[in-house]
Amino acid sequence: MAFEIDLKRLEKDYSIMSAAEFALLRRSELTPEAAMIYDRVAAIRRAGDDSALAVAPVSSDTPLQAKMANFAIRILRGSPGLFANTLGAVIGVGFLKSLSSTLVKLFTHSRVSIVLTEWIGSIVFAALLGVSVQRRWRTRTARWVWIPALLWFLFGLTGRAGLPLGNPWLTFSGIACIHERGISCVQFTIFTALLVRSSVYSLAAFLSARSSRQYDSFHPVLSRILSGLFLIGLPKVDKNQAEK
């Protein structure tokens, strides 16, 4: 009985040993009974190590961290393209619209015509430029330009820009600018017009990307002129790369 208790105590001592201490034991120097306990504890230790290695990838946060890192890299890579497309939607459309505004002013100088020119010109030229950039450069960031424009518009809508709101509907639709030129025209120009241009630009790029037609079906000369004016340095997606 005392011998059995000593064997159980020996097994317990082997089990609580550290890996370094257990490795120092020499099986050849043990008694047959102690060697059996040694083998049993060694098998348990090996099984524990194998199960720990098998469970570690499941409980680890490595996949989540890899996804987050990949998401951050995609954002960093897409930031230059988003910035370039935003400039194209805001400045590029404004430049093209200013060319048409010169022709409109030859016939009329009414406030109604100015506001209508802003609305129509922003929609038409933003759509044309959005399709052109998507067909020419095949960039995915063009369809996300509306997000920063919407945030900018909501900032202006809160009244924290330091400009009087009055009636928001009249102010941001341009109707207030028709009745009285001044601050209301500024708000319509820097908030509403930018949102309209960016939204139409993104929608046109999205529909163009989803179109079943080939990219070369768009007029090549017009596409190169419009997209090359503002987005010369935009990286071009490989021709064989599928759109997502």
The domain tally of the chain equals 2
52 and 84 belong to one structural domain? no
pLDDT at 182: 72
Inside any domain, residue 102: yes
pLDDT at 152: 94
- DSSP letter, residue 25: -
46 and 83 belong to one structural domain? no
Inside any domain, residue 68: no
12 and 48 belong to one structural domain? yes
41 and 118 belong to one structural domain? no
pLDDT at 52: 46
- DSSP letter, residue 220: H
Phi, psi of 211 (to 5 degrees): -70, 145
Inside any domain, residue 50: yes
Task: Let me know: does 86 contact 205? Beta carbons within 8 Å.
Answer: no
39 and 103 belong to one structural domain? no
Inside any domain, residue 87: yes
pLDDT at 48: 66
Q: What is the mean pLDDT of each run of 10 residues along the chain (244 residues)?
A: 61 78 78 83 74 45 71 81 91 87 71 86 93 85 93 91 83 86 82 95 92 52 52 46 44
Give the end-to-end CA distance of the chain in Å, rounded to a whole number: 75
91 and 44 belong to one structural domain? no
Task: Let me know: does 89 contact 145? Beta carbons within 8 Å.
Answer: yes
Residue-number span of the structural domain to which 133 is assigned = 75-230
170 and 223 belong to one structural domain? yes
pLDDT at 206: 92
Inside any domain, residue 241: no
0.95 exceeded by pTM: no
Beta strands in 23-94 (DSSP E): none
Of the three residues 59, 91, 106, the one that is the final residue of a domain is 59
Phi, psi of 151 (to 5 degrees): -60, -40
pLDDT at 243: 44
Inside any domain, residue 69: no
pLDDT at 214: 46
pLDDT at 184: 72
Q: What is the DSSP string of 77-109?
A: HHHHHHHHHHHIIIIIHHHHHHHHHHHHHTT--
Inside any domain, residue 244: no
Inside any domain, residue 238: no
Token pair 């509907």 is found at 169
pLDDT at 223: 52
